[in-house]
Amino acid sequence: MSAPIQGIPATLVTTYLQMTDPDQFRPAFLEAAAGIIRQMTPPDIPLYRFLYAEVGAGWRWRDRLLLSDAELYDALAQPTTAVYVLYVEHEPAGYVELVRQGDDTEIAYFGLRPPYMGCGYGKHLLSWGIAQAWADGARRVWLHTCNLDAPQALNNYLKRGFSVFHVEEKPMPARYT
């Protein structure tokens, strides 16, 4: 498991990645006994907040923590949004949130709780989310990561078949400092 970032960089570097064809997908699934993935339906705000806080604590995730319960429920209850939770031995280990945008599907949020990092669950859950996006009819699957995410995230995305289509640099927003 990688340690969370210690200092805040002066610049936020956001990398946008995409797959435009299912043939680009290079899945890395674990054996079926590795865990169970279930859709969070209806949205379970306490569970979502728990997962978001646990997954993002070391990486200074803030955006969803700033929403009220009603705002968060409204975002998650959209017919274009689906949240899937990975359970390992009945414990929530991580989640992937897919948002359909016309013919595109964004992997809006994805990650694991720290005790489950470094065990292969990340590549498994990401592969599952990508497969779900293609199965749901996406023409393009995309996501973004930044230098405040887990250091292994970008490599995982590239290994699954994503390619970089844009990199953006801007001063670090105050909410992350």
Q: What is the pLDDT of residues 31-59, one digit of tens each?
A: 766 789 999 999 999 999 999 999 988 88
Does the global pTM surpass 0.85? yes
Exposure of 3 by Cβ count < 10 A (0-12 exposed, 13-18 middle, 19+ buried)? exposed
Instruction: Give domain limits for the chain.
Output: 11-176
H/E run at residue 163: strand 163-171
Kindly provide the b/e burial profile for residues 19-47, where b requires at least 16 CB atoms within 10 angstroms of the residue's own CB: beeeeebeeeeeeeebbebeebeebbbee
If pLDDT is split at 50, 70 and 90, which confidence band does 144 have? very high
pLDDT score, position 6: 59
Instruction: Specify whether the CB–CB gap between 98 and 132 falls below 8 A.
Output: yes
Closest CA to 71 of 82, 79, 63: 63
pLDDT tens for residues 93-130? 999 999 999 999 999 999 999 999 989 999 999 999 99
Q: Is 38 helix (H, G, I), strand (E, B) or coil?
A: strand
User: In this predicted structure, what is the pLDDT of residue 35?
Assistant: 86
Instruction: Decide which of 3.40.630.30, 3.40.50.300, 2.40.30.10, 3.40.800.20 is the CATH code for 11-176.
Output: 3.40.630.30
Residues 62-96 have pLDDT tens digits of: 889 899 999 999 999 999 999 999 999 999 999 99
Q: Please name which of 142, 158, 136, 140 lies closest in space to residue 107, comparing C-alpha atoms.
A: 142
